[in-house]
Structure 1
Amino acid sequence: MSTAIVVGGGIGGLATAVGLARRGWSVEVFERAAEIAEVGSGISLWSNALRALDAIGVGGEVRAQAVEDASAGIRDPRGRWLARTDVATLRARYGAPVVIHRAALLEILRSALPDDAVRPGISVTAAGADGSVVHSAGESSADLVVGADGLRSVVRQAVCGEVAARYAGYTAWRAVVELPGKLTEFGETWGRGARFGIAPLADGRVYCFAVYNAPEHSAGTFAEVRARFAGWHHPIPELLAAADPDTVLHNDIYDIPALPSFVAGRIALIGDAAHAMTPNLGQGGCQALEDAVVLARLAAEPGGLSRYDRERRPRTRMIAARSARIGTIGQLSAAPLVTLRDTALRLTPASVPLRALGEILDWTC
C-alpha cells in the first residue's frame, strides 16, 4: 500500500487526504494546531470547487450545509449599483456557487477520513525530496509528502528554497454575525481604498468581511473598522455593530511569486503553499480543492507528480494574476481613479464578467 504524509490540516490538506485514502493510500495528516477548527469566516465554493468535492465523494454533504450564493453584484458606499450579476445566466451556464462556514467544510472533510488519519499537535520542521519528514514527534517517511502548510510553508523550502510572501497593500477583517431577522442579501461594496462583502450562511448567520488599504502589520482595532465603515449603506454598519470583536479574524493579505515548480522528488505542493493568491476572485480554497483532486488522481502513476505540476502550475498562475489585478482595481483610493473605475463598472455589460469567469469555472476533473 502506498503511503502519504499530508502536512497541514486545512481545506486543501484534508481534501487531498480524502482523495488519496479513497484511492487506497494509507494517509497521515500532520496538523500543528491542537485541533482542526476555524471560526469567524465563510468560504465561497464556485462550480469548479463543487466538482472537485463531488470527485472525492463529499459534494452532496457540502451542498446540504451550504446556501446558494445569489450574489447581487457591486455597489458604492451609498448603496447605488455599480454592477449587477446575471445570476440566472451564471446558474444556467456554470452552476451557482455556494457559501458555507469554513468550520462546517473542515468537519465534513475530517469526517470522511479514518479516525486515526489526522494527527493534531504535530509541527513539521523540515521535509526532504526523499519523502522524509522531521516533526515534533520525531521523524517519518512516505511515498508521497504533500505540502499543504500554507502561505509560509516549511515543505515548500525543500522544493523552491525560501520564498518571500508579498504584501498586497490591504488588510482584511472577517466575521460571522447573527442579526435579528434573516438577511438574504449577497454582494460587495467598493469605496475608496476599501471594500465590504456580505454572504448569508445556511444557518441564518451572515459572513462578512471588511478590506481596506493599510501599512503592513498595522495592528488597528475593530472599533476603528466600525468607524471607517459607519457611513456605508445598510446593513454594513449593523453587521459590524453585531460582530463580536473576540471572534473577528484580522489578517493582512499576501500572495507569493509564481514558483518554478510545485514538485521535487516525492514532494508535491498544494493550495497556498504552491500558489497563495489574494482572495479577490474567491478562488484560493477552490484551487486548493482542484489541486487535491488532480494530485490524488495522478500521484500513483509513473511520472504522475510531473504531470500534476504541468497541469496545475499554469492554471493557478493565471488565476492568481487575475485576482491580483482585481484587488488593485478594487483598492483604488485616488478620487479621479475611483470615479473612472465606478463609471467603467456601470457601463460594462453583465455578460462580460460572466465570459471572463468561464475559463475558471469550466474546469472539470
Structure 2
Amino acid sequence: MDTPTATTPHAVVIGSGIGGLTAAAALHARGWRVTVLERAASLQPVGAGIGLAPNALRALDVIGVGDEIRALATWQGDGGMRTPSGRWLARTSAQAAADRFGDLMVPVHRAVLIDALAARLPEGAIRTGTPAALADPGAAAGGRRAVVTTPDGDIRADLILGADGINSGVRPALFPGHPEPAYAGLTTWRVVIPAPDRPFAPHETWGRGALWGTQPLKDGRVYAYAAAAAPAGGAAPDDERAELLRRFGTWHHPVPAIIGAVAPDQVLRHDVRHLTTPLPAFHRGRTAILGDAAHPMAPTLGQGGNQAIEDGVVLAHHLPPHGDPGAGLAAYSAARVHRTTGIVRASARVARLVALKGAPAVALRETLMTLSRFGPGLALRTFDGIADWRPPQHTYSDQAQEHDDRRARR
C-alpha cells in the first residue's frame, strides 16, 4: 500500500458498488490516493447474485481478485434453456463456454464480491454514511480541481468518479438535458436461498412474457431470478412471494420448491430501466462516470455488473497518477462508450424477446432456441465479442498474465 504524500493525486469515488470499488482498487494499484464516499451506513449491498463472465474475471485479474473469485466456481455441467413444462429448448455446456471464451462463468453473491474488492483498498479509504454531490466537475486543461460536497464539508480532488448507480446525481450534472433511463418493459425478482434437496440442472426457462433462472452458488445456496412483462411501478397486491407463486408456481422443478422456501421479505423486486440513447461521453472536466451511472442496461445478457468492472480497470489504465487527466479521461470515453452502447442495445433486444406473449411469436422464439441443439457453440455465439474481451494488455497483473499463459498451454 502506498503512503499518501502531498504529490500523490487524489481520486474521490461517489458510490461503493461493484464498479466504484473496482475503479477505486484499480486506481489505488496505479498509485492514486483514493476516497470512496458511500451514502449507506454500511457496505452491505442491496442485491442478490451476480454471474461473473470471463470478461469480468479477466478485468478482476488486473487488481489481483480474479483467482479469488474463480475459486468460488461451481462446475455446473450441462444446463440450458427450458420451457415452463421442463422441456429442454437448448443445452449448453460449462466446458464449451470455458473453451470458447477462455474462462469460467462464476455466480456469486454480490456481498462476496463487494468484500473482495473492498479488501484491496487501504484502511480508511471507504467512508460510509457519507452522502456526496458533485459541485464542480473541474477542468483538466486549466488544472482546476473538481469538488464534491458532503455533510462534513467540501472535498477537492484531482479526479471524481460518479459510480452512483442508475439514479445517478453525477450523470445529469455532467450532461443536463440528456434523456433519463426509461422503463425496459420488464420487472425483475431476485432471491438467494438454501438449495433445494432435490438436484436440478442450472437453467433459464422462458415462458410467455416471463423467464426464470436458477444458478447454484459455491456456498450451498442458489441464486434465482425472474422477469416478466408488467406495467412500470407495479407492486404485488399481497406480497412478492405470492406474486412469484402466481406467475411461476406451476413451472418445472426447482421453481416451485424455491418459491416455497422464500420468505416474503427475501424477495427483491425492481423495474428494469435502461439508457438506449448513449451519452456523448463518460466524462467532463476532471469527472467521469461508470456502470449504471453511465450505461444502465437490461439484465438479459447478465452484463450490467460485468461492464462496470470493465469500466473500472479501463479507467485506471488510462489514468496514470502523474499523466494528463484530460487525455486519459478522453481515452476512457473513447474505449467505453461504443462498447457499452452495443451491449445496452443487445440487452434491449433480448428484453423484447422475453416480453413476447403471443402464441405464434413464442413458438417461433422456441424454434430458434431449439436450433442450438446442434451444438452448444451456437447458443454461445450471443456472447462473442462480449465474454471474450480482454483488458489492455499492459495493465495485467502477474496473476492475470499467468492465468492467460495457463489457458494458452491447454
- Please indicate, yes or no, whether the TM-score normalized by the shorter chain is above 0.5: yes
Greater mean deviation of Cα atoms: 352-361 or 170-179: 352-361
SS in 2 for 1:29: strand
Aligned pairs for 1:72-221 (under 5 A) are: 72-94=79-101, 95-130=103-138, 131-162=146-177, 163-181=179-197, 183=199, 185-220=201-236, 221=239
Equivalent residue number for residue 35 of structure 1: 42
Name the CA shift for 1:122/1:104 in 2 (closer, same or farther; >3 Å): same
Match of 1:352 among 378, 381, 397: 378
- Cα distance between partner residues in 2 of 1:335 and 1:289: 39
SS in 2 for 1:4: strand
Bigger Rg, which one: 2
Cα RMSD (Å): 1.6
- Are the aligned partners of 1:183 and 1:204 in contact in 2 as well (CA < 8 Å)? no
- Are the aligned partners of 2:196 and 2:257 in contact in 1 as well (CA < 8 Å)? no
Q: 1:169-222: CA deviations, max 9, x gaps?
A: 111110001144374521200000110010111111000012111111101132
TM-score, normalising length: structure 1 = 0.96
- Cα distance between partner residues in 1 of 2:59 and 2:158: 24
SS in 1 for 2:170: coil
Q: Which sections of structure 1, spanning at least 5 residues, go unmatched? A: none
Identity of aligned residues (%): 45
Q: Which sections of structure 2, spanning at least 5 residues, go unmatched? A: 1-7, 139-145, 392-410
How big is the shift at 1:136? 2.7
How big is the shift at 1:244? 1.8
Equivalent residue number for residue 63 of structure 1: 70
SS in 2 for 1:18: helix
SS in 2 for 1:85: strand
Name the CA shift for 1:113/1:126 in 2 (closer, same or farther; >3 Å): same
SS in 2 for 1:361: coil
- Cα distance between partner residues in 2 of 1:80 and 1:54: 38
- Are the aligned partners of 2:76 and 2:94 in contact in 1 as well (CA < 8 Å)? no
Q: 1:65-111: CA deviations, max 9, x gaps?
A: 34345561110000101121143321112122111110110011111
- Are the aligned partners of 2:79 and 2:92 in contact in 1 as well (CA < 8 Å)? yes
Name the CA shift for 1:107/1:155 in 2 (closer, same or farther; >3 Å): same
Which letter maps to 1:294? V
2:333 is the counterpart of 1:313? no
Q: 1:303-344: CA deviations, max 9, x gaps?
A: 110000000110000111111101111221111111111112
SS in 2 for 1:176: strand
SS in 2 for 1:134: strand
Equivalent residue number for residue 261 of structure 2: 242
TM-score, normalising length: structure 2 = 0.86
- Are the aligned partners of 1:75 and 1:190 in contact in 2 as well (CA < 8 Å)? yes
- Are the aligned partners of 1:275 and 1:320 in contact in 2 as well (CA < 8 Å)? yes
Greater mean deviation of Cα atoms: 65-74 or 315-324: 65-74
How big is the shift at 1:248? 1.6
Q: 1:112-145: CA deviations, max 9, x gaps?
A: 1112000111112334221111223321111111
Runs of 4+ in 1 over 4 A off after TM superposition: 68-71
Greater mean deviation of Cα atoms: 222-231 or 158-167: 158-167
- Are the aligned partners of 2:315 and 2:329 in contact in 1 as well (CA < 8 Å)? yes
- Are the aligned partners of 1:255 and 1:278 in contact in 2 as well (CA < 8 Å)? yes
